[in-house]
Amino acid sequence: MALSDTQILTDARTPRELPATKRTPKFLRRLRQHGLVIALALVFVFPLLVMLSTALKSPQDVFSSPPTLIPSEWTFDNFATAFDQIPVWRYLGNTMLVAGLSVLGTALSCPLVAYALSKVKWAGAKPLFIMVLATMMLPPQVTLIPLFLIWNGVGATNTYLPLVVPAFLGTPFFIFLIRQFLMNVPDDLIEAARLDGASEFRTYATIVLPIARPAIVTAAVFQFVWAWTDFLNPLIYLNDESTYTLSIGLYAFFGENDVAWGPLMAACTMFTIPALIIFLIGQKFFIGGISAGAIK
């Protein structure tokens, strides 16, 4: 018997069910889809696990052969040794001061410049924005010696001014990031505030800043991590041991105790935890700011 056209179309649209033996469990499908992500995550997490494992090992376990990831004997003596041999609290306070001031400077300067380059209509906005982008193309090593000569000429070496003041003058990458975010803000909101008699600064403070909070938090997280882990600039500008940050302090500790891997990894663990906590706290805004700033 010939099939009607309606039956043929219905049969063509109805998917054939696979036998029960050929169906892939949902868990395995998800695991296969996320296998690459999981593998990459393990690659990045593995050094942190090795660091934490070494910090909790006894000296015998550190140099055991073959090496093991899980200590046979858990110990916290390495943390006590690290506190005894290096002034951790002083270095931690210095690093918090530099990172905190850098974040404050970034949060004050970069949104203001980004607003002026995105929402304020004036003749030099586009040329100046191109100049800001052009400065991102210069490697920091190119301007390292001229900047050192300038700071040394004004007597600011061996102080925190070279590490903090640049953040208050604006960072090109963060200006670009926040500016791209503000380009998505409707101009009607800003024009409505201006028609209501709001000044430019009031419009910026009451309308633009709350909207740009994800991008600002993203810039703050970036700046904190950069300032927290910065090694080159403190190495160049800081000469007094009392002003050392954690990165320089760990380097000095490594030079004096190049075989004390347990205490060294314990100090590195304490160095890593604050940056990790800040990232986890700002993760929600961090991801939102990156995605929104990348889409125009």
Residue 13: pLDDT band (50, 70, 90) is very low
SS (H, E, C) the chain: CCCCHHHHHHHHHCCCCCCHHHCCCHHHHHHHHCHHHHHHHHHHHHHHHHHHHHHCCCHHHHCCCCCCCCCCCCCCHHHHHHHHHCCHHHHHHHHHHHHHHHHHHHHHHHHHHHHHHHCCCCCCHHHHHHHHHHHCCCCCCCCHHHHHHHHHHCCCCCCCHHHHHHHHCCCHHHHHHHHHHHCCCCHHHHHHHHHCCCCHHHHHHHHHHHHCHHHHHHHHHHHHHHHHHCCHHHHHHCCCHHHCCHHHHHHHHHHHCCCCHHHHHHHHHHHHHHHHHHHHHCHHHHHHHHHHHHCC
Torsion angle, CA of 265/272/235/227, rounded to 10 degrees?
180
SS3 state of residue 213: helix
Which whole number is the average pLDDT over 227-251? 88
Tens of pLDDT, residues 159-201: 999 999 999 998 999 999 899 888 888 888 888 888 888 888 8
Q: What is the mean pLDDT of residues 200-217?
A: 87
| pLDDT exceeds 70 at position 291 | no
Amino acid letter, residue 258: D
16 pLDDT exceeds 60?
no
Looking at residue 150, its pLDDT comes to: 93
Pairwise pLDDT comparison (14 vs 42), residue with the higher score: 42
Say whether pLDDT at 104 is over 90: yes
Averaged pLDDT, 1-21: 49
Mean pLDDT (whole number) for 245-267: 74
Residue 234: pLDDT band by 50, 70, 90 thresholds?
very high
User: Using 50, 70 and 90 to split pLDDT, how confident is the model at 263?
Assistant: confident
> Average pLDDT over the chain, rounded to whole?
81
Q: Looking at 16-30, 75-89, 232-246, which range is the least confident one?
A: 16-30
Q: What is the pLDDT of residue 162?
A: 94
At 68-103, the pLDDT tens digits run 777 777 888 888 888 888 888 888 899 999 999 999
Give the model's confidence band at 1: pLDDT under 50 very low, under 70 low, under 90 confident, else very high: very low
Give me the count of residues in the chain. Answer: 296
pLDDT for residue 124: 83
The 10s digit of each residue's pLDDT in 113-128 is: 999 898 888 888 888 8
Q: What is the pLDDT of residue 255?
A: 54
Question: What's the pLDDT at 21?
Answer: 46
